[in-house]
């Protein structure tokens, strides 16, 4: 049963999605019309609500984490679901893990780690830009994940506070300059993932990685293609995302 304070996703038949937080006795203005939020209270997820000038039907859903990050205020440099999910799996993230995420940006990847490590784990988020730090803090609070995260407003060139972390994600403009710091923070056998949007960065990062005791170095890219869900005329959509980033993975060993 939906109650005050819940986040709900209103899903229209044309695929439009609106996320709102339920407040009793209030109306919420959206670009598709005004929602009387009292009508939501007491309904079940999967139920419908009608609003807007054309009395359109919307399904009431619980927003997924993907819904939440695509709904964020700021979406520049957002990490795509295709990449975020693969990173979680390759870095072997599980409940209880201790993970460093840097730079935090708007916090989407930080939150993705935080959801999985849970209350027994911890995500250490490093961000040097105050505007991003504040945005990420606000987003993580809104998503209800801030308790699993320790956000730090500072540069990483002097190294990280933590040692023996299970995994680390490096998403900064010059990743090749922080390979040593990452090595220091990871536990033996710990996993690192690095975001490299250009081939030049991949080359620079690889060169640096080979100077330190890292093994099992892999470089991947991920092309997701979506199909029009029409059983009579099944075919891909006309256009697709061609590139987000290359993903570099490596495993720390004690010496080489």
- Residues making up the annotated binding site for S-adenosyl-L-methionine are 127, 155, 171
Q: Give the binding range for a second copy (CB under 8 A) out of 27-35, 103-111, 149-157, 207-215.
A: 207-215
Instruction: Establish if 231 lies at the interface with a second copy (CB under 8 A).
Output: yes
Instruction: Establish if 227 lies at the interface with a second copy (CB under 8 A).
Output: yes
- Looking at residue 5, the DSSP 8-state letter turns out to be T
| Residues 86 to 125 in contact with a second copy, rule: CB under 8 A | 86, 88-90, 92, 94-95, 112, 115-116, 118
| Residues 74 to 93 in contact with a second copy, rule: CB under 8 A | 81-82, 84-86, 88-90, 92
Q: Give the binding range for a second copy (CB under 8 A) out of 20-28, 131-139, 155-163, 235-243.
A: 235-243
Give DSSP secondary structure letters for 13-82: TTS-EEEEE--TT-EEEETTEEEEGGGTTTPPTT-EEEETTTTEEEEEEPPPHHHHHHTSS--TTPPPHH
Nearer to a second copy, 86 or 155 (CB): 86
Q: Which of 141, 180, 207, 211 binds a second copy (CB under 8 A)?
A: 207
Strand 48-51, strand 122-127: pairing = unpaired
Nearer to a second copy, 40 or 202 (CB): 202
* Shortest Å distance, C-beta 50 to a second copy: 14
| Residues 10 to 29 in contact with a second copy, rule: CB under 8 A | 11, 13, 15
Strand 27-30, strand 122-127: pairing = unpaired
Instruction: Establish if 46 lies at the interface with a second copy (CB under 8 A).
Output: yes
Instruction: Establish if 204 lies at the interface with a second copy (CB under 8 A).
Output: yes
102 contacts 156 by C-beta, under 8 angstroms: yes
Instruction: Establish if 50 lies at the interface with a second copy (CB under 8 A).
Output: no
Instruction: Establish if 222 lies at the interface with a second copy (CB under 8 A).
Output: yes
| Residues 58 to 77 in contact with a second copy, rule: CB under 8 A | 59-62, 64-66
Instruction: Establish if 41 lies at the interface with a second copy (CB under 8 A).
Output: no
Residues that bind a second copy (rule: CB under 8 A) add up to a total of 82
Instruction: Establish if 224 lies at the interface with a second copy (CB under 8 A).
Output: yes
Cα–Cα distance measured from residue 102 to residue 177, given in angstroms and rounded to the nearest whole number: 13
Give DSSP secondary structure letters for 157-194: TT--S--SEEEEEE-SS-GGGGHHHHHHHEEEEEEEEE
Give DSSP secondary structure letters for 103-166: S-TTSHHHHHHHHHH-TTSEEEEEE--HHHHHHHHHHHHHTT-GGGEEEEES-STT--S--SEE
113 contacts 99 by C-beta, under 8 angstroms: yes
* Shortest Å distance, C-beta 163 to a second copy: 13
């Amino acid at each position: 049963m939906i109650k005050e304070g819940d986040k709900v996703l209103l899903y229209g038949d044309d695929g439009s999605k609106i996320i709102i937080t339920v407040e009793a006795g209030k109306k919420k203005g959206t670009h598709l019309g005004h929602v009387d939020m009292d009508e939501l209270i007491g309904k079940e997820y999967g139920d419908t609500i009608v609003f807007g000038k054309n009395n359109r039907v919307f399904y009431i859903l619980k927003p997924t984490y993907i819904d939440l990050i695509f709904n964020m205020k700021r979406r520049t440099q957002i990490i795509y679901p295709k990449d975020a999910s693969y990173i979680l799996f390759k870095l072997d993230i599980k409940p209880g893990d201790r993970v460093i995420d840097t730079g935090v940006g708007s916090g989407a990847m930080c939150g993705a780690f935080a959801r999985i490590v849970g209350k027994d784990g911890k995500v250490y988020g490093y961000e040097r830009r105050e505007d991003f730090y504040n945005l990420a803090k606000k987003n993580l609070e809104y998503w209800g994940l801030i308790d699993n995260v320790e956000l730090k407003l500072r540069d990483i060139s002097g190294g990280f506070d933590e040692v023996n972390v299970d995994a680390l994600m490096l998403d900064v403009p010059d990743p090749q300059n922080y390979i040593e710091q990452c090595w220091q923070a990871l536990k033996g056998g710990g996993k690192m993932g690095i975001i490299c949007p250009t081939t030049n960065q991949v080359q620079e990062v690889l060169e640096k990685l080979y100077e330190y005791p890292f093994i099992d170095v892999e470089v991947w890219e991920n092309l997701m293609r979506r199909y029009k869900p029409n059983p009579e005329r099944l075919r891909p959509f006309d256009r697709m995302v061609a590139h987000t980033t290359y993903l570099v993975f490596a495993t720390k060993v004690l010496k080489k």
